[in-house]
Amino acid sequence: MSEQLNAFEMAQEQFNAVAKQLDLGDGVSEMLRWPMREYSFRIPVRMDNGEIRVFQGFRVQHNDARGPNKGGIRFASDETMDTVRALATWMTWKCAVADIPLGGGKGGIIVDPSTLSDREKEELCRGWVRAMWKNIGPRNDVPAPDVGTTPQMMGWMMDEYSRLVGQYTPGVFTGKPVGGGGSLGRTEATGYGVIYTVREAMKHLGMDPKKSVAAIQGFGNVAQYASIGFIEILGGKVACVACWDRHEKKSFTYSHKNGIDPRFLMTIVDQYGTIDMQKAKAEDYSVDDGDAWIAADADVLIPAAKEGMVNAETVKKISKRVKLVAEGANGPVTPEADEYFKAHDIFDIPDFLCNAGGVTCSYFEQVQNDMNFYWHKEEVLDKLDQKMTAAFHGVLDMSKDKNVYMRDAAYMVAISRVVKAMELRGWLTGSV
Ligand code: GLU
């Protein structure tokens, strides 16, 4: 992300533009422009060398009019309160656009998880819960994994919460490991959800998925399953993936003349998303600069890494062939890049629609936890497909109806649903 870009300012800018068009009024806009609650706390951890290190933790609860706050916890060395605010705000819109009865939240810790041992990670996870347990719960705020966090971490966090409240409470965290309260299909859900929306967008644009080529940024959970889905569900080809190399401290683009094989790359990527370069080269992969993915000769771009990656600078490198951008990450496209897409007639599936598959499956996980009855993988993925397809068409219809860009249409659908819930709960009429 460029130095100047502040994700929360970007989230507010996007919101302001649509709030004006919807004529929301100052009071309601002010309620939605800022998160309702924010927590900032310190987490002391005894490290393996015997020393105590203190980490900075966050949780932001943006809006819970439609149901408990919901959203991941990121472990990232560049985490800030403003990034967490932006991500929490986008979660409110994401749950509303997917039409699941949840609100928006996000958490984080300033840490590079690859520098921690497993024991230190577990201590940090448990410490986060000890700081927050009174303010989260299945009926008020339900965290999940995100960048830098894993199903195992959610298992530890759920365990710590259950110990503190004195009863097994699986529904307090989602994205837990299968067999430890998790749902089948959760691992694939975000990436496959991206692909379900790509499939619907291609129908709308008259593109043939089997003749389509994608270029993908990232090779974490979302990008891995988006690549697999692009090939196995749609029958297309993935020209390249770009990923961060934690040893070299820069990113690289991996491409292959026959298209990349994500299932092979998954055998040589570590848990932090770094591909083993030597092993890739041994299988004839070419390795280029980290920005090369965006200039690839492709029909579809899937930025599935971090916020701000498609910006005023990088957007100019996009090949003329690109017709569709599917935002697998949260906030990868800046307002300047949006203007470029509009000017060049590139169809964009905005982040909080495109990547809503993860939280939708989290919702299914919570439902299964509450029922104490677990579904087959096909059932989970079927229900996910239905939800994502309905969400995509809800936004597309709005975009046609009002003749607006897809991101604005997604905001219109989401904001209207949240405002409606606030109205129905009496938040906008009686005592506020
Ligand atoms: N972290 C994911 C997201 O940004 C999933 C959130 C969840 O499952 O609650 O959508």
Which atom of ligand 1 is nearest the CA belonging to 90? 4
* 200: amino acid identity, one letter: E
* 16 phi and psi angles, rounded to 5 deg: -55, -45
33, 16 Cβ separation under 8 angstroms = yes
Q: What is the pLDDT of residue 431?
A: 64
3-state secondary structure of 275: strand
Question: Whole-angstrom Cα distance, residue 342 to residue 260?
Answer: 30
Which CATH architecture group holds 187-354? 3-Layer(aba) Sandwich (3.40)
Closest CA to 324 of 224, 424, 213, 179: 213
Taking the CA atoms of residue 321, residue 327, residue 332 and residue 333 in that order, the dihedral angle to the nearest 10 degrees is 50
Hey, which residues does 52 pair with through a beta bridge? Answer: 46
322 CB near ligand 1 (under 6 Å):
no
Provide the 10 A C-beta neighbour count for residue 385. Answer: 18
Helix or strand holding residue 217 (H, E)? strand 213-217
| Catalytic residue (choose from 70, 94, 106, 176) | 106
72 CB near ligand 1 (under 6 Å):
yes
Fold of 31-182: Rossmann fold (3.40.50)
- Is 383 exposed, middle or buried, given 0-12, 13-18 or 19+ CB atoms closer than 10 A? middle
358 CB near ligand 1 (under 6 Å):
yes
Verify whether residue 306 is a known catalytic residue: no
Question: Whole-angstrom Cα distance, residue 268 to residue 262?
Answer: 10
pLDDT one-digit tens code per residue, 140-166: 999 999 999 999 999 999 999 999 999
Instruction: Identify which of 106, 188, 190 to mutate to test ligand 1's pocket (most ligand atoms within 8 A of the CB).
Output: 190
Q: What is the mean pLDDT of each run of 10 residues along the chain (432 residues)?
A: 75 94 93 98 98 98 98 97 97 98 98 97 98 98 96 98 98 98 98 98 98 98 98 98 95 97 98 95 98 97 95 96 97 96 98 98 98 98 98 98 97 98 92 61
pLDDT one-digit tens code per residue, 328-346: 999 999 999 999 999 999 9
* 307: amino acid identity, one letter: E
What is Dmax (Cα atoms) for the chain?
A: 68
Question: Whole-angstrom Cα distance, residue 172 to residue 24?
Answer: 33
21, 408 Cβ separation under 8 angstroms = yes
- The full DSSP string for 279-336 is HHHHTT-EEEETTGGGGSS-SEEEE-S-TT-B-TTGGGG--TT--EEE--SSS-B-HH
Question: Whole-angstrom Cα distance, residue 373 to residue 354?
Answer: 28
Instruction: Identify which of 359, 361, 388 to mutate to test ligand 1's pocket (most ligand atoms within 8 A of the CB).
Output: 359
Same fold, 31-182 and 187-354: yes
70 CB near ligand 1 (under 6 Å):
yes
Helix or strand holding residue 393 (H, E)? helix 377-402
Which atom of ligand 1 is nearest the CA belonging to 72? 1
Provide the 10 A C-beta neighbour count for residue 160. Answer: 20
CA dist list (Å): 370 to 105, 170, 187, 188: 21, 8, 20, 22
Beta strands in 23-173, from DSSP E residues, in sequence order: 37-46, 52-63, 69-76, 104-110, 141-145
102, 83 Cβ separation under 8 angstroms = no
Domain spans, the chain: 31-182, 187-354
Which single residue is written with the structure tokens 């067999």? 179
Residue 242 corresponds to which tokens in the numbers above? 């770009």
Q: What is the pLDDT of residue 1?
A: 45
Which atom of ligand 1 is nearest the CA belonging to 94? 10
